[in-house]
Structure 1
Amino acid sequence: MAGSGNTALDHHVTQLLEQQLGNTATLKPLADNDLASIRKTPVIAIGPTAFSRVRQANREIPVLALLVARKFIQSYIERSPGRISAVYYDVPLLRQALTGKAILPQANRVAMLATTESAELYEPLIDQLKGYDLDAKVFIADTEDQLIPTLIRALSYGDFLLAGPDDTIYNPRNIKHILLTAYRRNRILIGPSQAYVKAGALASSYAPFSSMAKEASGLLLAYLSTGNFPSPVYPDEYRIEVNKQVARSLNIPLPAREWIAQSVQNMINIDDPEAGP
């Protein structure tokens, strides 16, 4: 186990993995000076910093990455199939968009804010949303001066603003301005994570750690059995975080979190019963 540096988080993830693995594998903390000698023993890296530390020390190590976003890990996996895998931490954008639809069933337009470089993040989603009677449009803001004027246009278009894992737009420097501007125009922000819900976004889907541990144990056992990791996966369970204070302030009736999560899953299942999370 290559830890994140957050002792409480590392301990919690390790406990959950041990519960899933039982007696089939033993998890041991990994010191940096042990990395050079590892060849076939798989390493579980908790977070992107731990993953980068492992890769820099020894490119031969088979690595299972946890708490990493798809865009961070994807190129590594493509270059080293079977040697690197992951349980994705970011929520699929379709699921986030349908979270907004479940809360605002009358919504039919979704706005997204991006830079020129990050706009491609949303391109696959735009086509997907047509199957759910949702039109979507990306609004480009490449500089700080463009952010608020572009945001105002986006809020005028969309019934809600969908935030993806885009640090160039959604970061501590910008988020207060984005949330305040949306609030003044009676619009809500969905996503990109639980942390932003606490800051003032209305809601976000998220995967519980127990679900991520379940998927991680499956990938790890597959490696121990075959010598290769399967392809990376998303967790098979998602829950909903909501900000009730924001909902009250905007006079938005907020269903129970469990109802929202089930409603989103139902929409996904109806569209494609064979689809994954």
Structure 2
Amino acid sequence: MGSCFSPKARMNITNHVRAPRLRLLASLVILVAMAALAQPLSADVVYLQGSANPTFNLRFTELLEAELGPDTEVRAFASLRTFDGPAGPVITLGQEALARVLETGTQRQILALLVSPETIAGAAENAGGRMSTVYYDPPLLRQALIGRVILPQASRMALLARPEQIGDYESLTEELADYGIEARVFVVTGDEALIPTLSRALSYGDFLLATPDNVIYNPRTIKHILLTTYRRNRLVIGPSHAFVKAGVLASSYVPLPDYAAEAARFIREWQRTGVLPEPTYPETFSIEINHQVARSLNLPLPDRDEIRAEVRRLLHQSDGEATP
């Protein structure tokens, strides 16, 4: 049976049905476009050149991502051959990672982590001022004050140093004078002079402050240093919490979650200003203690939290000159 509507009538009916559908479709397109405009076009990107330890890299990445939040992507540097991805700084973990990134000639800002101040000073020249760091090795003033808190009667402290490093400790000795500690640097002129120099240092100081100098303090020498020190009934502070397991009495350190949080603070500052902050030490720290060594020395120790609280009090005393 043919339709009872004329062609013109049928067209009007079709248009009448289609119109609401078209208006609905147009509304949906507008809503989708508005939603897209409300979201960032792409997440901020931070590049990471990890260490040779994949387990550590994964843990650090997880902590960093948790601090930065979902709008910041942490992307592996090694996966970018041309390194022409979105804008963002590069985080390096360790000296080898920093060297690999510098070899690429990248013009991006670099947040170099887990490297020594000496490494930073040398690499910063090649980076053209585009580099910053969160120091990981404990500041020597803090380490020295740990020794002072553990031995309240201590008035003299000894350090070992190579000839070219003597000047590096001048500011430390001046700072320690404000805390009633006299510090003296004993120069180690070679491997054969290590133990004789150490013996002279122990005759002078109430305790030995070990520095992050891996020429003097390393797995090959630490056993001889500790045996000599404890035979003289002296204690060793530092250079890091890893040495506490080897027999050092105590050292401060920054827990990895706190270190990652400080790195995230640097990245957020870059996102806000386009510039990484100046190098700094994290404010937070913990203290590792070898209680077995303390018992061997017949040394009563305060609780580690009490030691940390007293060290912080000393660092923030009223003159305001000392920093953690």
TM range (shorter): over 0.9
Residue 69 of structure 1 corresponds to 116
Aligned residues: 277
Within the candidate set 52, 71, 78, 1:24 is matched to: 71
Residue 58 of structure 1 corresponds to 105
Residue 5 of structure 1 corresponds to 52
In 2, are the aligned partners of 1:82 and 1:228 still within 8 Å (CA)?
Answer: no
SS at match of 2:70: coil
Amino acid at match of 2:185: V
CA distance in 2, matches of 1:244, 1:252: 9
Residue 298 of structure 2 corresponds to 251
Task: Return the offset for 1:275.
Answer: 5.0
Residue 311 of structure 2 corresponds to 264
Amino acid at match of 1:228: V
Amino acid at match of 2:113: L
Q: 1:271 to 1:146 in 2, by over 3 A?
A: farther
Residue 167 of structure 2 corresponds to 120
Amino acid at match of 1:255: P
Task: Return the offset for 1:74.
Answer: 2.6
CA distance in 2, matches of 1:272, 1:231: 23
Amino acid at match of 1:233: T
Of 70-79 and 138-147, the range deviating more from structure 2: 70-79
| TM-score normalized with structure 1 length | 0.94
CA distance in 2, matches of 1:271, 1:152: 37
Residue 134 of structure 1 corresponds to 181
In 2, are the aligned partners of 1:39 and 1:60 still within 8 Å (CA)?
Answer: no
Q: Report percent identity of matched pairs.
A: 49
Residue 216 of structure 1 pairs with residue 247 of structure 2: no
Task: Return the offset for 1:140.
Answer: 0.6
In 2, are the aligned partners of 1:2 and 1:43 still within 8 Å (CA)?
Answer: yes
CA distance in 2, matches of 1:34, 1:266: 49
Deviations 1:117-151 (A, max 9, x none): 12233221000000000000000111112111110
Q: 1:128 to 1:165 in 2, by over 3 A?
A: same
Residue 238 of structure 1 corresponds to 285
Q: 1:140 to 1:275 in 2, by over 3 A?
A: closer
Gaps of 5+ in 1: none
Within the candidate set 216, 221, 225, 1:178 is matched to: 225
SS at match of 1:64: strand
In 1, are the aligned partners of 2:237 and 2:250 still within 8 Å (CA)?
Answer: yes
Q: 1:49 to 1:256 in 2, by over 3 A?
A: same
Of 43-52 and 65-74, the range deviating more from structure 2: 65-74
Amino acid at match of 2:184: K
CA RMSD for the aligned pairs? 1.8
Task: Return the offset for 1:36.
Answer: 4.5
In 2, are the aligned partners of 1:155 and 1:187 still within 8 Å (CA)?
Answer: yes
Task: Return the offset for 1:274.
Answer: 7.1
SS at match of 2:103: helix
CA distance in 2, matches of 1:230, 1:82: 12
Task: Return the offset for 1:162.
Answer: 0.2
* Largest Rg, 1 or 2: 2
Deviations 1:211-252 (A, max 9, x none): 211211111112122222121121110110010010000001
Gaps of 5+ in 2: 1-47
SS at match of 1:232: coil
